[in-house]
A and B are shown apart, each in its own frame.
Chain A
Amino acid sequence: MATKLNDAPVGIGSSLSRVDGKLKVTGGARYAAEHPVADLLYGVVVSGAIAKGRVTKLHTEAAMAAPGVVEVVSHLNRPHIAWFDKAYQDQVAPPGSPFRAFYDAEIIYSGQPIALVVGRTFEDARHGASLVQVEYEIDEHETDFERSPEFKPKKTRDTFVEPKNRGDEAGAYAKAEHKVDVSYYLPTEHHNPMEMHATTVQWHGDGRITVYDKTQGSQNVQAYLVGVFGFAKKNVRVLNPYVGGGFGSGLRPQYQVYLATLAAKMLERSVRVVLTRQQMFSFTHRSECRHIIRLGANDDGALQSIYSKAVTPTSRFENYMEPIANWGGQAYRCDNATMDWALTAVDTYTPGDMRAPGAATGMTLFEMALDEMAYETGVDPLALRLTNYSDRDEMMDIPYTSKALREAYQEGAEAFGWSQREAAPRSMRDGSELVGWGMATGIWDAMFQKTTVRAKLSANGHLEVATAGSDIGTGTYTVMTQVAAGALGLPADQVSAVLGDSDLPPSPIEGGSWTAASTGAAVQIACDAVRVKLAKAAAKVDGNPLGGASVDDLRFEDGRMILAADPSKAVGYGEAMTAAGVSEIEATEAAAPGPLESIGEMLGVKKKAKNTHSAIYAEVKVDEELGVVRVTRIVCAVAAGRIVNPKTARSQILGGVVMGIGMALHEETLADHRIGRFMNHNFAEYHIPAHADVLDIDVIFVDEPDSEVSPLGIKGLGEIGIVGTAAAIGNAIFHATGKRVRSLPITIDKLLD
């Protein structure tokens, strides 16, 4: 992709406009369903109507007879696919047996794909799909997770953190002067990126396929297709240069890529499959959660005991779990803490990671319970958090690499005007509206994953940095451009970042907020290697003007190497390369956690905790008679290490906060347990925040230098914005109305109840 927006020198810390901006505002950025392919067929998915049972008869005759229908693919006629679970287990698969569409007649969740109608045009396929009739044998199902027995699987996900308890919670709670014992609930949520999941498979006819997929990891999908369909790895190229949002929905290979590839293999034709918005509710979701929280505290608000237990559903075929219960026990100083968790199995698809999985649920609900303790003790909510402040990860009993949360509390409170708050509920008013101010804490992990980047400098001064990773709207192209431009002293328009291609050097999936830290470090290291090669090439220039100086003695600016000790001596990059007889200089380098660190983390002896933190302050206005809630003001102060690009970083936080507004007031997938199906599977009934719901949001980044968390001191920002935001809003609603709603979202019916 070309970057022609800014020719000023940039580096880490500059507010460069998004380098893919021009393509995105002109319609030039192509997403998965938009890559032109000759002789393309279109597939439309037929979704199952029952939650459990089997297909006894599939009537496809009418569809096959319809004009333009080429084939109806199903379990009855599919080509061979792998037998063993291992082939289906992608990089982030939870323990279990991944879903296989069309494997046999069995139906294990409502909305399961049961046929793919392939037609010459989209309209032909859609018409054909409407003609497919299905007969079922129906088995008893259970989709209500609170009616299924709790269990704890032996095998947990690699990323799951088992709670580590301390002290005597029950004893301390019994003796505590103030007690809060509450049950909170978060409903099922669906990711709903604006781009519906889609795949275009190009069948080359020589054994190769090119797959344009909506995914957060091109190489994760490549490995999956190789395993499931038996293609040679070299014959499968997966591309996702632009991804219309993900929020976790594209972490695992989803069934649209499986079905498009299955049909392409069967028909030996190029095939495109685009899911409908309804079908976007049929493959992954944030799990609902019952969170039991019991707190004991002294008169001054000092916590004496914490009990936190989270129960979440998983599917019958995989054990998906999130660390939900731990966060309060990590964040606050308290000698006695017990955290616990359990799963229950239901007949739905497996839940999956959605923006800040675990923390968005657990910290949000915990922070609402903590607000109850503030009222129970009569201590200001901010003062209560400062009373229980800790510079250590209290659960693991280790220090942080950095934690500037105190500064975030303070700067956020000043910007918001928190000191002007009247403590009593219903004490602030603006005309017919009750005014409420609430606050909460956010916490998320600062992760780092091995990432490899190839840097290539051409003699004309153009630098390309490339890796297989993704930019799902997070700004990865821009971050890479900035780091590379800074490292080699080039203007942004002489740098291009390339992403979204499984043929490029290895990158993990785009998730966990680790991409800026990891990819940024890899770009830096690869560019550093180019600098070393450039310095060596400079020694070949006639008269060796730099005297064989090493990189440490040189400044790399404006496309030239300048001797730091004598700036009159300089060699241009092109000049050095010509002298060395090369037309380009290339280096491929990996950034990875240090070996000791990796082994330590594997053995569970992490020496320091790595986390981002935030302080969120919210103002709501609630119509006293109608119960309508408006979030009129939010201040989100974030401590997240080094900020690469203040402009795009701010947008990341805005996005997280807006999704937090959705969690507080709008988002809720409702199931009809009698038929075992999600009912409100469209944007008219599954509400997400719209323009009118989002008023003022102020983002503050507090200074937090950290040389340990990652090579460039970056912590990542994709998720911290959502954590705790719904709690700040819920707490503000209590302050406004005096009504404590312990089940999100806080809708009008609950306030007027």
Chain B
Amino acid sequence: MRNGRKTREIKRVRNETLVALRVIYPGPIQADQLFRSLLVLFPTLEFDHFKRDLHYLCDKTYVQRVETEGDHDPALIPWRRRWFRLTTSGIELADSCITDPALDES
């Protein structure tokens, strides 16, 4: 289920997410702010799609969710307000130290 998105676009969004997170590494950033900055490149990107990509990157352990102490119940925090940061393998990928065929655009 790709929700009508092309493979190339999906890969680009995921790659740009990593690039954006790399900018503030090792700091985290909120999903909403990340999403808004991506809208510059992908004006038609929807948050649901982006959420799916974030989920994917988390599952691949390139990105991790950061839970702050103020989050009493992390599961109840809306996605837009959740914090994310790159993991070690995420920064390696963003720095092109390693490659992932699933994210290779060529």
Same complex for A and B? Answer: no
